[in-house]
Amino acid sequence: MTNIVAASDLEIFDTRTKAMQRIRARALQAQDPNSTFLIDEIADRLQDRLADIKRRFTHALDIGGNMKKGQHARHVCGLPAQHENLGLTPASYDLITSNLMLHWVTDLPGMLIQMNQALKPDGLMMVSLFGGETLHELRHSLIKAETEIIGGANMRISPMADVKDLGSLLQRAGFAMPVADMDTVTVHYSHPLKLMADLRAMGENNALKSRPKNFLRRDILRRACEIYMQTYSNDQGRIPATFQVMYLTGWHPHESQQQPLKPGSATMRFSDALGKPPLKS
């Protein structure tokens, strides 16, 4: 199996910090189980998609552990603290899932390649991750508050992928029948601080290597909350938080799968299929 290691100077995320954030998140979740409602909701949506596939998966792997217990008998693999090398045995699983974890992976193309290599022929990968429009309201409010108070803004929310880019990544990783699609989930909160508390409980704190190492100043936080409430609150005084959820599905290639026609091998013109005369030049 190819060993994929990102160079340290190319790493986007502080993996040690992210590991510590996830440890603290589990403690917060124990205090308030409802704080993981979004993770649980997307896990259910992944489960519904898997239920539409009429196949019994006997050897499944969940990367990250965010699928609910009982959702397919499986092994669980945590994302490692360094280098993002999963160390999976090739051709070992007929199903690999991951729920809202891979947006914290620096080398996502390499991770997808590892997952494909770990699948048996005709094995299925199905994952979810946050996309680029996630938390755009919070991002805007923080940038505007910092710009007003200190004359510039720090990167407080990590960059996330676009659905078109993810579709290309699936093809580059060698998956057959790749599909990338998305949902937009909008959650309404009474106050931005409640949103931030839920983000901490989900382990979604800022873990960028380039992040400011000091805590967000209170005056900036206060101003960001004011901007958020003034700009986005509805008639009931509640504010929206947008989560763009990307779903990636791909199969390890197998000869039994439907293959695309070779260029020039079609037996019917496109205009004939539509029942229309061909256009004249």
Q: What pLDDT, in 10s, does the model give residues 220-230?
A: 999 999 999 99
Confidence of residue 40 (pLDDT cuts 50, 70, 90): very high
pLDDT at 154: 72
Evaluate whether residue 69 is within a structural domain. yes
Which pLDDT belongs to residue 223?
Answer: 97
- The pLDDT of 96-106, averaged and rounded, is 92
172 pLDDT tier (thresholds 50, 70, 90)? very high
Q: In the prediction, which pLDDT does 3 show? A: 35
Q: What's the pLDDT at 10?
A: 63
Question: Which comes out higher in pLDDT, residue 6 or 173?
Answer: 173
Residue 281 lies in a domain: no
> Residue 83 — pLDDT band, cuts 50, 70, 90?
low
Question: What's the whole-model pTM score?
Answer: 0.81
Domain that holds residue 186: 8-274
Is the predicted pLDDT of residue 82 greater than 80, yes or no?
Answer: no
- pLDDT score of 277 more than 90: no
pLDDT classification of 14: cutoffs 50, 70, 90:
confident
| pLDDT, position 262 | 55
For position 86, what pLDDT does the model report? 85
- Mean pLDDT for 122-131 is 96
Mean pLDDT to the nearest integer, 54-71 = 84
The pLDDT mean for the chain works out to: 84
Assess if residue 268 is contained within a domain.
yes
Token couple for 144: 């505007």
Query: In the prediction, which pLDDT does 158 show?
Result: 67
**Residue that wins the pLDDT comparison between 151 and 222:** 222
State mean pLDDT over 174-191. Answer: 95
The reply to whether 23 falls in a domain is yes
pLDDT at 279: 46
The CATH number that applies at residue 154 is 3.40.50.150
Residue 279, in any domain of the structure: no
In a domain, residue 280? The reply is no
Least confident of 103-112, 115-124, 227-236, 262-271: 262-271
Asked whether residue 42 is assigned to any structural domain, the reply reads yes
For residues 97 and 123, is the Cβ–Cβ distance under 8 A?
A: no
pLDDT of 178 > 80? The answer is yes
Domain count, the chain: 1
pLDDT of residue 7: 40
What pLDDT, on the 0 to 100 scale, is given for residue 78? 80
Residue 3 falls within a domain, yes or no? no
Percent of the chain whose pLDDT exceeds 90: 58
